C-alpha cells in the first residue's frame, strides 16, 4: 500500500524520544500509564494503529487485514526501527513490525538472504510471511551503517546450535560487533536472540565498556514464536515478556510506542528472570511431551488407548484443553533441545540438581526406538528390500526444517534395506538421500506399507480408501497420530500408532 507523505511523517514520529515524563506517553487516541508497583502493564490500544481516529483491534490471525499505519504526535529524533539478523526470528520480526505500521530497516551480512528478501522470496517457509512481505516489506540491506540514527535496534538473530544442541554464540557476537559502531548513543537496544541466563547483563556491561558514550537502555525480549505459526503469534501475542537491568525498570517512551500496537499485557522483570522464563517455557513443554510418551508406553502395555484418555485429561480444569500432551518420537527442531542443554549446563554450574533435565533428554533420545520396533515388525520382517512410503520429512507441520527430524534417522537406518519413496509438501532432501514423490497418493503407489512422520493437515484429510487401493500392503505406521484410526480401519488398513493397543 503506498504511503502518503503525511503518513510517512507520522510513522517516523512513533519512536521519537518524548520530552514528556518517562511515566507516560500520549497519543491522539489515548495514553499509556506505567505502574512501577506492578510487573505487568498493558499499553493502551489507542496508542497503536488507528482507523478514522478510532482504535483498531490487535489482529488475531496473520490472514486478517493488516492494521493501518499508527497516528501519533511527533516527538523528536528518528522513527526507523532497526532489526539485526535475517534468520527465521529476524525475518518474522522485521516483517511483522513493518505490517504494524513501523518503518523498518533489516540488516544482515548474508547478501544472498538480503537479495532474496528484497525480491519477496523469504529463505524460510512460514505461513503468511510471503503475503506480509508483499503488502509492505522492510528495507533489507547488508550494510550495518543503515542502523545509524535508529531509535530502537532489535537484535533478532536466531542462536545457532552445534550437533549436540549447545548454543554457539559466535554468530550473534559477530552481529553485535557490527552493530556497535553505528548504534546511536541514546538508542534502545533490545536483544531477542535465544541466549543463556546471564548473557544480557554481561552484554550490557561489555557494550558500555566499549562505548562509554552509549547511555540507552538495554532489554531482553523473550521470543515465544512457534515455527509454523510465527506470523500470527508475532502480530497477536498473548503477552510480551521484557527483561531490564532491574526488576522494576521504567519503560522508555520509544519502547512504549513500539509495543502499543500489540495491545497485550507486558510483563516486566530483570534480565535473568526474563532469560529463565524463556527456558522455563520450553522446559515445561518438554516435560509435557515426556509425560505424554510415558503415558503412551503404559497404554500400549496395558491395552488402554491414548486417544481415549487425552480428552479426559484435557477436560480437567487443572490441565486444560490446550495442554501440550501429545506422544511422539522425541523432541525435534532444535529449539527446545537448545534450552534444555543450556539449563542443564546452568544447573551444573550453580550446583543445582539437574536430574529432571537429564531424564527429559534421555527420554527424548529413546523415543525413536518405538519407530525402529514398529518398522522392523510390520514392514521389514520377512521382506527383502520392501518398498516403503514415507509421508513427512519436516520435524513438524508448516515448516521446511528437518533439524533433528526422525525422517533423517529413519532414512539412514533403511539405506540398503528398503526402497523409500517420500512426500512432504514443503521439506526437501537431496535425490541421493530419498526418492521424492509429487503427491501423497503417488508415494504410496505399490508400496508395501506407509510410515507417517509429520502431522501435515493434508495427510489427515487423505482419502484412505484410495490409499489402501494404491498400497500393496495394508500397514500404516503413524508416528504422529495424524490419521483417524476408525477411518483407517474402515478402509482396510492395519493402523499402528503410538499409545494405542496393538
Please write the tens of the pLDDT for every residue from 147-184. 998 999 999 999 988 888 888 999 999 999 999 999 99
Q: Is the pLDDT of residue 41 over 70?
A: no
Residue ending a domain, among 229, 251, 270, is 270
DSSP annotation string for 408-462: HHHHHHHTTT-EEEEE-SS----TTT-EE-SSHHHHHTT-SEEEE-S--HHHHTS
Q: What is the pLDDT of residues 203-250, one digit of tens each?
A: 999 999 999 999 999 999 999 989 999 999 999 999 999 999 999 899
Q: What is the CA radius of gyration of the chain?
A: 25
Whichever domain contains 299, its CATH number is: 1.10.1040.10
Q: Is the pLDDT of residue 412 over 60?
A: yes
Query: pLDDT over 90 for what percent of the chain?
Result: 78
Enter the C-alpha cell of residue 447: 508400496
Under 8 Å between Cβ of 475 and 492: no
- Own/partner pairs, 483-490, CB within 8 angstroms, 24+ separation: 483/452, 483/459, 484/460, 485/307, 488/464, 490/464
Based on the domain organization, do 353 and 286 belong to the same domain? yes
Query: Which pLDDT value is given to residue 403?
Result: 87
Question: Which of the two residues, 248 and 94, has the higher pLDDT score?
Answer: 94
For 388, residues 6+ apart whose C-beta sits below 8 A from its C-beta are 375, 379, 414, 418, 419, 420, 421, 447, 448, 449, 450, 451
Residue ending a domain, among 222, 237, 270, is 270
Under 8 Å between Cβ of 69 and 10: yes
Which range of residues forms the domain containing residue 237? 78-270
- Is 17 among the domain residues? no
- Is 1 among the domain residues? no
- Is 11 among the domain residues? no
Torsion over CA: 58, 397, 115, 143 (sign): positive
- Is 50 among the domain residues? no
- Is 459 among the domain residues? yes
Q: How far apart are CA 27 and CA 467, in angstroms?
A: 59
Question: Which of the two residues, 420 and 26, has the higher pLDDT score?
Answer: 420
Residue ending a domain, among 213, 243, 270, is 270
Pairing of strands 188-191, 218-221: parallel
Mean of pLDDT values over 254-261 = 95
Based on the domain organization, do 140 and 173 belong to the same domain? yes
Under 8 Å between Cβ of 450 and 389: yes
The lowest-confidence range among 18-27, 142-151, 237-246 is 18-27
Based on the domain organization, do 138 and 239 belong to the same domain? yes
Based on the domain organization, do 327 and 430 belong to the same domain? no
Q: How far apart are CA 438 and CA 428, in angstroms?
A: 11
Q: How far apart are CA 232 and CA 64, in angstroms?
A: 9
Helix runs in 351-422, H state only: 355-366, 368-375, 406-414
Based on the domain organization, do 478 and 407 belong to the same domain? yes
Query: Which pLDDT value is given to residue 404?
Result: 87
Q: How far apart are CA 41 and CA 249, in angstroms?
A: 12
Structure confidence at residue 79 as a pLDDT band (50, 70, 90): confident
Query: Which pLDDT value is given to residue 334?
Result: 82
Based on the domain organization, do 468 and 350 belong to the same domain? no
Query: Which pLDDT value is given to residue 14?
Result: 39
Query: Which pLDDT value is given to residue 42?
Result: 57
Angle between helices 306-314 and 271-302 (to 10 degrees): 140
Phi, psi of 304 (to 5 degrees): -80, 165
Query: Which pLDDT value is given to residue 443?
Result: 98
- Is 33 among the domain residues? no
Query: Which pLDDT value is given to residue 149?
Result: 87
Q: How far apart are CA 484 and CA 461, in angstroms?
A: 9
- Nearest by Cα to 159 from 280, 286, 357, 334: 334
Under 8 Å between Cβ of 337 and 331: yes
Bridge partners, 242 (sequence order): 221, 268
From first CA to last CA, the distance across the chain in angstroms is 57
Based on the domain organization, do 255 and 319 belong to the same domain? no
Q: How many domains does the chain have?
A: 3
- Nearest by Cα to 489 from 453, 465, 469: 465
Q: Is the pLDDT of residue 74 over 90?
A: no
Query: Which pLDDT value is given to residue 40?
Result: 56
Based on the domain organization, do 186 and 86 belong to the same domain? yes
Q: What is the pLDDT of residues 346-399, one digit of tens each?
A: 999 999 999 999 999 999 999 999 999 999 999 999 899 999 999 999 999 999
Mean of pLDDT values over 337-346 = 94
Q: What is the pLDDT of residues 452-495, one digit of tens each?
A: 999 999 999 999 999 999 999 999 999 999 999 999 999 999 99
Mean of pLDDT values over 14-36 = 36
Based on the domain organization, do 207 and 139 belong to the same domain? yes
- Is 401 among the domain residues? yes
The lowest-confidence range among 58-62, 130-134, 434-438 is 58-62
Query: Which pLDDT value is given to residue 47?
Result: 44
- Is 49 among the domain residues? no
Place of cell 524460510: 124
Mean of pLDDT values over 130-158 = 95
Q: How far apart are CA 321 and CA 480, in angstroms?
A: 19
Place of cell 539449563: 343
Q: Is the pLDDT of residue 60 over 60?
A: no
Enter the C-alpha cell of residue 434: 530419498
Mean pLDDT estimate for the chain:
86
Query: Which pLDDT value is given to residue 335?
Result: 83
Q: How far apart are CA 340 and CA 279, in angstroms?
A: 7
Under 8 Å between Cβ of 455 and 480: yes
Based on the domain organization, do 190 and 204 belong to the same domain? yes
Give Cα separations from 328 to 23, 226, 320, 416 (angstroms).
48, 18, 20, 26
Helix runs in 195-334, H state only: 199-210, 230-235, 253-259, 271-302, 306-314
**Which DSSP helix (H) or strand (E) runs through 117?**
helix 111-118
Whichever domain contains 204, its CATH number is: 3.40.50.720
Based on the domain organization, do 439 and 463 belong to the same domain? yes
Based on the domain organization, do 243 and 383 belong to the same domain? no
Tell me if residue 195 falls in helix, strand or coil: coil
Structure confidence at residue 43 as a pLDDT band (50, 70, 90): low
Length of the chain: 502
Amino acid at each position: 500500500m503506498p504511503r502518503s507523505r503525511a503518513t510517512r511523517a507520522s510513522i517516523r514520529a512513533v519512536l521519537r524520544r518524548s520530552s514528556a515524563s518517562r511515566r507516560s506517553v500520549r497519543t491522539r487516541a489515548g495514553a499509556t500509564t506505567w505502574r512501577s508497583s506492578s510487573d505487568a502493564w498493558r499499553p493502551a490500544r489507542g496508542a497503536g494503529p488507528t482507523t478514522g481516529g478510532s482504535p483498531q483491534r490487535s489482529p488475531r490471525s496473520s490472514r486478517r487485514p493488516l492494521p493501518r499505519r499508527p497516528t501519533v504526535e511527533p516527538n523528536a529524533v528518528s522513527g526507523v526501527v532497526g532489526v539485526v539478523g535475517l534468520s527465521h526470528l529476524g525475518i518474522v520480526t522485521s516483517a511483522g513490525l513493518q505490517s504494524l505500521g513501523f518503518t523498518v530497516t533489516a540488516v544482515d551480512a548474508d547478501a544472498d538472504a538480503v537479495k532474496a528478501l528484497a525480491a519477496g522470496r523469504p529463505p524460510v517457509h512460514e505461513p503468511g510471511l510471503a503475503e506480509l512481505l508483499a503488502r509492505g516489506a522492510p528495507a533489507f540491506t547488508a550494510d550495518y551503517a543503515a542502523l545509524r540514527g535508529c531509535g530502537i535496534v532489535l537484535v533478532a538473530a536466531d542462536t545457532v546450535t552445534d550437533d549436540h544442541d549447545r548454543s554457539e554464540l559466535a554468530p550473534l557476537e559477530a552481529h553485535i560487533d557490527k552493530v556497535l559502531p553505528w548504534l546511536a548513543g541514546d538508542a534502545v537496544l533490545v536483544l531477542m536472540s535465544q541466549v543463556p541466563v546471564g548473557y544480557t547483563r554481561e552484554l550490557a556491561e561489555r557494550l558500555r565498556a566499549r562505548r562509554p558514550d552509549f547511555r540507552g537502555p538495554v532489554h531482553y525480549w523473550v521470543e515465544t514464536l512457534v515455527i509454523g505459526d510465527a506470523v500470527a503469534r508475532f502480530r497477536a501475542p498473548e503477552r510480551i515478556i521484557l527483561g531490564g537491568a532491574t526488576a522494576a525498570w521504567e519503560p522508555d517512551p520509544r519502547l512504549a510506542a513500539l509495543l502499543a500496537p500489540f495491545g497485550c499485557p507486558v510483563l516486566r522483570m530483570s534480565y535473568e528472570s526474563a532469560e529463565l522464563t524463556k527456558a522455563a517455557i520450553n522446559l515445561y513443554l518438554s516435560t509435557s511431551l515426556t509425560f505424554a510418551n510415558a503415558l503412551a508406553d503404559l497404554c500400549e502395555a496395558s491395552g488402554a488407548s491414548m486417544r481415549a484418555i487425552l480428552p479426559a485429561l484435557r477436560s480437567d480444569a487443572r490441565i486444560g484443553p490446550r495442554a501440550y500432551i501429545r506422544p511422539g518420537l522425541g523432541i525435534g527442531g532444535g529449539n527446545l533441545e537448545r534450552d534444555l542443554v543450556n539449563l542443564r549446563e546452568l544447573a551444573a554450574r550453580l550446583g543445582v540438581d539437574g536430574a529432571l533435565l537429564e531424564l527429559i533428554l534421555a527420554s527424548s533420545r529413546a523415543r525413536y526406538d518405538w519407530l525402529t520396533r514398529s518398522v522392523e515388525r510390520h514392514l521389514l520382517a520377512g521382506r527383502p528390500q520392501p518398498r516403503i512410503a514415507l509421508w513427512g520429512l519436516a520435524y513438524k507441520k508448516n515448516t521446511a526444517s528437518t533439524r533433528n527430524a526422525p525422517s533423517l534417522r529413519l532414512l539412514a537406518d533403511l539405506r540398503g534395506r528398503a526402497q523409500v519413496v517420500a512426500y512432504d509438501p514443503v521439506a526437501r532432501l537431496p535425490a541421493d538421500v530419498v526418492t521424492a514423490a509429487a503427491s501423497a497418493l503417488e508415494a504410496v503407489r505399490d508400496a508395501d506399507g506407509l510410515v507417517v512422520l509429520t502431522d501435515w493437515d493434508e495427510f489427515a484429510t487423505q482419502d484412505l480408501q484410495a490409499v489402501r487401493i494404491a498400497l500393496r500392503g495394508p500397514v500404516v505406521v503413524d508416528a504422529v497420530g495424524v490419521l483417524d484410526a476408525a477411518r483407517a480401519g474402515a478402509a482396510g488398513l492395519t493402523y499402528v500408532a503410538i499409545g494405542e493397543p496393538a
